Structure 1
Amino acid sequence: ALHQADVVETMMLGILTVIKNNDLALADELRKLDDTVDRLYSAIKYYLTKISREALSEEESRRWTDIISFTINMEQIGDIIERVLIDVEDKKIKPGRNFSEAGMAEITELHARLVDNLRLSMSVFLNGNVHDAKKLLEEKARFRDLEHAYSRSHLVRLADNTQSSIETSSLHIDLISELKRINSHICSIAYPILDSAGALAPNRLRTSKLADLG
């Protein structure tokens, strides 16, 4: 599972380089890595489904849930990154467009938070640290607030007729929305950890159960 997360981290780190340097070759390499993430997910899922959960202790059963939740989230993050890379290729690199300086700064800030949160989620998965799991949920709310603020900033730039913002408007809005979606998957890794520790508020628990069903 951690190898899967390492591949996702490589994809995540590479996104910013692709955007900044218009690097089509790197984009192609990173998109191919999603196949690796999918293969690892299939292998882990196959292995876990061969284990009889009835034979597991309560603690082992909880860990089984942690692992399957983690690998599902990593697989979904890989899929989103692949979509983002295709979008960047089609709407920025090939047409030869650029984000405004302010827009690029916002994307860079969100990206840095994503990388930090991904690394924190890997630590939470490994150690089951309740304090760090709670911090992940706090980061989910903080990231959502930033996404809203940056969407508003972008609209202001459009109103000011900032040419680069106009040219990349659709991509910019979609990109920060997709980054928020990635962050939600990263942070949802905290739910089973907090659930196991009895540290989820009732409404949070209900939300996490619904997320699992979805």
Structure 2
Amino acid sequence: DIRVDTLRNAIVPYLTKLGQGGALTEEQSQQEIQMLYITADIEAIGDIIDKNILPLARKKLENKLWFSNEGWSDIVDLHTRVTANFEQVISALRDNNLELAHLVADTKPEISRYESELRKRHIARLHSGLQETLETSGVHLDLIDQFKRINSHTASIGTTLLGQM
């Protein structure tokens, strides 16, 4: 998080300085705005990891909590999907690939539906009385929510790259 904040603290003043005095063309000004939006989304992702996910991991370790096999599988799968989306949006940014940006932007409703499905599965495990699920329920549901938030920011980067800010 410190590195992300340091980069943001360097990028934002640099970009805003470029735009002072009307020195940018309309296209350059649009790119400046896109970079400011993207920088904010990347910083938000870093904050989610640093301030939300890492404390959940510490809580899980300190309290020696274990997810059920099914619950762990769900978390790993959601993490894999969100990570893949983030990697794709970074590629879209790097390569100016608008098709890839569009694909990532469209993941927001898909991940929201999947998150809802994972919550239903979790509740079904709670109803079945699975001990690991009962012990880790708060951490499990919080992790799912945090990954959904990361994907929301990731999709927002895709939308920004498409000029739909």
TM-score between the two structures when normalised by the length of structure 2: 0.93
The within-5 A match list for 1:101-180 is 101-180=69-148
1:49 to 16, 24, 31: 16
Q: Does the 8 A contact of 2:38 with 2:160 survive in 1?
A: no
User: Residue 46 of structure 2 corresponds to which residue in structure 1?
Assistant: 78
Q: Does the 8 A contact of 2:125 with 2:133 survive in 1?
A: yes
Deviation at 1:52, TM superposition (A): 2.5
Deviation at 1:128, TM superposition (A): 2.9
Q: Unaligned stretches of 5+ in structure 1?
A: 1-33, 196-204, 209-214
Code of the aligned partner of 2:9: S
Code of the aligned partner of 2:4: V
Code of the aligned partner of 1:85: L
Summarize deviations over 1:134-188 as a string: whole Å, max 9, x none. Answer: 2012222211111000000000000000000000001111110110000000110
**Take 1:151 and 1:135, find their aligned partners in 2: how far apart are those partners?**
25
Deviation at 1:72, TM superposition (A): 0.8
Summarize deviations over 1:63-114 as a string: whole Å, max 9, x none. Answer: 1112111111111100000121112212x11010111100100111111111
Question: Is 1:87 aligned with 2:60?
Answer: no
Summarize deviations over 1:181-207 as a string: whole Å, max 9, x none. Answer: 000001101222222xxxxxxxxx5xx
Aligned partner of residue 65 in structure 2, secondary structure: coil
**Take 1:86 and 1:107, find their aligned partners in 2: how far apart are those partners?**
16
Deviation at 1:62, TM superposition (A): 1.5
Code of the aligned partner of 2:38: F
How large is the Cα RMSD of the aligned pairs? 1.3
**Take 1:137 and 1:52, find their aligned partners in 2: how far apart are those partners?**
27
Q: Unaligned stretches of 5+ in structure 2?
A: none
Aligned partner of residue 118 in structure 1, secondary structure: helix
Aligned partner of residue 186 in structure 1, secondary structure: helix
User: Residue 7 of structure 1 corresponds to which residue in structure 2?
Assistant: none
Runs of 4 or more off by more than 3 Å in structure 1? none
**Take 1:192 and 1:55, find their aligned partners in 2: how far apart are those partners?**
22
Aligned partner of residue 188 in structure 1, secondary structure: helix
Q: Does the 8 A contact of 1:65 with 1:192 survive in 2?
A: no
Q: Does the 8 A contact of 1:70 with 1:125 survive in 2?
A: no
Q: Which has the higher contact order (CA 8 A, sep 6+)?
A: 2
Q: Does the 8 A contact of 1:110 with 1:179 survive in 2?
A: yes
% identity of equivalent residues: 35
Aligned partner of residue 189 in structure 1, secondary structure: helix
